[in-house]
Amino acid sequence: MSQLPAGSVPLGTDTRPPGGPSRDSGRPRDGLLRDGLRHGAGLAALVLLCTLAAAAATLALPAALGRALDAVLAGKHATGPVVECGLLLGAAALFAALDALATAALGARTTARLRTRTLAHVLAAGPRAAERLGHGDLVARLVGNAAQAGSAPATVVALAAGALLPAGALVALVLTDGATAVAFAVGLPLLALLLRLFVRASGDSSQQYLAAQGRIAGHLVEAVRGARTVAAAGTRDREAARILAPLPDLRRHGLRMWRVQGRSTAQAATLLPLLQLSVLAVAGLRVASGDLSAGGLLAAWRYAVLATGIGAFVGQLNALVRARRAQARLAEALALPAPGHGPSQLPPGTGELEFRNTVLRREGRTVLNLSPLRLPGGSVTAVVGRSGSGKSSLAVLAGRLEDPDEGVVLLDGVPLPALTHDALRAAVSQAFARPELVGARLRDTIALGVRHPGEARVVQAAREARAHEFIRRLPEGYATPCPSAPLSGGERQRLGLARAFTRPGRLLILDDALSGLDSATGARVEEVLFRPSPGRACLLIAHRARTAARADRVVWLAEGRVRAVGTHAELWRDPAYREVFGDEG
């Protein structure tokens, strides 16, 4: 038995992969907008063309109406101008309909891309990174925020093209009658100020509103996951109150958003009619003096209405502000650090695992500090220790579900970060205490991550995990849908073990994956685990003395450090080691 010092050990250097976080990790929300416009370029162009065409038809309509009115008043034939007005109205309606269809398609495509991209990054970042934002908040970002953010490209195009309508109307007003245009221009600075104040206030309230939504979603997911505990404790009302605790904030920020929009609408409703009336008054004076025809007055007034018709513009601007805030929340998820992968493949080997001065910290606290530790391949190593000693942290580092803050972990002499993603996952298989049944059916969850495993391989893995017996008793057998499968905790663990056994990797890691099995079933599974397998190593978290006794060696952890390494028989001489197993000691 080799005793390791309990004091501090020299710390190694950080040997993480040169790739570092993924490319998406630091991309701001502007990058999301550009990405949406680039991948939806065809639809964005269609939205732009339809909006421009509808705006052109709308801008041509007042002049046509003016000509029709002048023709009627002059007693001339007005059929041509009237037909022109009808065609322009039809064209504006047609292009508006096409614009709505293209906008919806662009929004749906962008939303799907944002959800897929964000979900892929969150999964790549791993459980520790995802927990920084909270599972419920992540769901809110992927569902509601992604839908809002997906509307940004179409809204930007619509705003860019829509701004041409009031701008074009102003130009047309100048061409129709310069004096009326001067009267209109007097109020433009105040109108611009109102828009600026609206954007600033609306953006802040939208951000706070989305954050409150995320907190409610986070509390809700926690409650659903702990529904049995809540029911057993009889704290339903208290839990409901906790879930809805952010509701006053949500209400306050929601009301603020409506007040901002209502105030801006009221201010515009006061200012815009005044501008239109000033144009109409000046145009009337111009008609009275003979400088402008009645048709010109009609055209000038309609152009003034179009130039001041910023209601739709403000609505689009408000939608863009909300979409940008939603994009900012997605950008936070994309900024979660994700591990990079190198170009290396594994050489021939038997699953030798080596920890070189490996340190893992969480929230500033050191949870694992390993001086050089080598676990030979082709053998079974049990990791034991009291609760909180770092057993699961060691398993997490061994499977590279997380990277150490210092030091490096090697498999058959190759640092784990240097391996390609496929090489790493093909070499390492893992089972957990509470496995998730990922996949549509039981067959899928057993074969998860294995390409074309074949029915025989799936059944063999289930037999080794002692899962075949209860699976075949189900009405649909291996085709049973995972959500409807009536499984106990031990049966779920056996499915997790079967999933690990399906992979022929060289390192099998069992993180408390036998804790839910009864003694008889556990003993039968252990017959498979401890079967001689020179080409594969096994690392298992052991809580039973019987399991540790069958391992080739035992790593004894205490307070995040290796207290000793040896066989179970050697370590058993130490009373402190026997105390680890409680009553079994």
Q: What is the DSSP code string of 167-206? A: HHHHHHHHHH-HHHHHHHHTTHHHHHHHHHHHHHHHHHHH
Nearest to 577 by CA among 369, 375, 380, 384: 384
Other C-beta atoms closer than 10 Å to the C-beta of 71 total: 17
Burial class from Cβ neighbours inside 10 Å (0-12, 13-18, 19+) for residue 209 reads buried
Residue 433 — very low, low, confident or very high, per pLDDT cuts 50/70/90? confident
Mean pLDDT in residue range 95-107: 87
Mean pLDDT in residue range 185-205: 62
For residue 6, pLDDT over 50 is answered with: no
Confidence (pLDDT) at 29: 53
Q: Which amino acid is at 491?
A: E
Least confident of 63-67, 380-384, 462-466, 497-501: 63-67
Mean pLDDT in residue range 258-265: 67
Confidence (pLDDT) at 583: 57
Other C-beta atoms closer than 10 Å to the C-beta of 577 total: 24
Which of 152-161, 219-228, 365-374 shows the highest mean pLDDT? 365-374
The 10s digit of each residue's pLDDT in 229-256 is 767 777 777 778 887 888 888 788 777 7
Mean pLDDT in residue range 273-293: 75
Nearest to 514 by CA among 555, 553, 478, 465: 465
Tokens of 196: 């600026």
CA 110 from centroid of its chain's CA atoms: 14
- CB of 312 within 8 A of CB of 172? no
Report the relative pairing of strands 553-558 and 380-384 from DSSP bridges. parallel
More confident of the two residues 23 and 384: 384
Confidence (pLDDT) at 26: 40
Q: How many angstroms separate the CA atoms of 334 and 22, rounded?
A: 9
Mean pLDDT in residue range 159-166: 72
Q: DSSP characters for 345-358?
A: -PPS-S--EEEEEE
**CA angle 159–307–177, rounded 5-degree value:** 145
Residue 488 — very low, low, confident or very high, per pLDDT cuts 50/70/90? confident
For residue 220, pLDDT over 70 is answered with: yes
More confident of the two residues 241 and 361: 361
For residue 509, pLDDT over 70 is answered with: yes
Tokens of 88: 């322009």
Percent of the residues in the chain that have a pLDDT greater than 90, as a whole number: 23
Task: Report the Cα–Cα distance between both ends of the chain, in Å, rounded.
Answer: 19
Tokens of 354: 């080596």
Sequence spans of domains, the chain:
23-334, 353-584
Q: How many angstroms separate the CA atoms of 282 and 106, rounded?
A: 44
Q: List C-alpha distances in Å: 481 to 32, 148, 227, 295, 449.
A: 36, 33, 22, 72, 18
More confident of the two residues 213 and 516: 516
For residue 259, pLDDT over 70 is answered with: yes
Nearest to 47 by CA among 165, 155, 126: 155
Which of 38-52, 277-291, 414-428, 510-524 shows the highest mean pLDDT? 414-428
For residue 22, pLDDT over 80 is answered with: no
Nearest to 547 by CA among 387, 390, 383, 392: 383
Compute the mean pLDDT over every residue in the chain, rounded to the nearest whole number.
80
Confidence (pLDDT) at 73: 78
Percent of the residues in the chain that have a pLDDT greater than 70, as a whole number: 83
Neighbour-count burial for 103-123, b at 16+ CB within 10 Å, e otherwise: bebbbbbbbebbbebbeebbe
24: left (phi over 0), alpha (psi -120 to 50) or beta: alpha
- CB of 29 within 8 A of CB of 136? no
The 10s digit of each residue's pLDDT in 471-487 is 998 888 999 888 888 88
Other C-beta atoms closer than 10 Å to the C-beta of 572 total: 17
For residue 334, pLDDT over 80 is answered with: yes
CA 392 from centroid of its chain's CA atoms: 26
Residue 13 — very low, low, confident or very high, per pLDDT cuts 50/70/90? very low
Q: List C-alpha distances in Å: 484 to 367, 441, 442, 457, 570.
A: 38, 9, 10, 24, 47
What is the helix (H) or strand (E) element at residue 63, kind and residue range? helix 41-73
Sign, Cα dihedral of 149, 152, 154, 155: positive
Confidence (pLDDT) at 261: 66
- CB of 37 within 8 A of CB of 156? yes
Least confident of 276-290, 343-357, 482-496: 276-290
- CB of 375 within 8 A of CB of 333? no
- CB of 352 within 8 A of CB of 375? yes
More confident of the two residues 467 and 78: 467
Nearest to 147 by CA among 121, 108, 182, 174: 108
Mean pLDDT in residue range 71-82: 78
Confidence (pLDDT) at 164: 73
Q: Tell me which of 3.40.50.300, 3.40.50.2300, 3.40.640.10, 1.20.1560.10 is the CATH number of domain 23-334.
A: 1.20.1560.10
Residue 262 — very low, low, confident or very high, per pLDDT cuts 50/70/90? low
Neighbour-count burial for 296-306, b at 16+ CB within 10 Å, e otherwise: bbbbbbbbbbb
Nearest to 419 by CA among 371, 349, 504, 512: 349
Place of tokens 């601007």: 317
Confidence (pLDDT) at 203: 56
Residue 558 — very low, low, confident or very high, per pLDDT cuts 50/70/90? very high
Confidence (pLDDT) at 311: 52
Q: What is the CATH number of domain 353-584?
A: 3.40.50.300
Q: How many angstroms separate the CA atoms of 255 and 325, rounded?
A: 17
**Beta-carbon contacts of residue 165 (< 8 Å; ≥ 6 apart):** 55, 58, 59, 306, 309
Question: In DSSP terms, which residues pair with 558 in a beta bridge?
Answer: 561
SS3 state of residue 476: coil
Entry pTM? 0.67
Query: What is the number of alpha carbons within 13 Å of residue 70 lying toward its C-beta?
Result: 16
- CB of 430 within 8 A of CB of 484? no
Mean pLDDT in residue range 332-349: 88
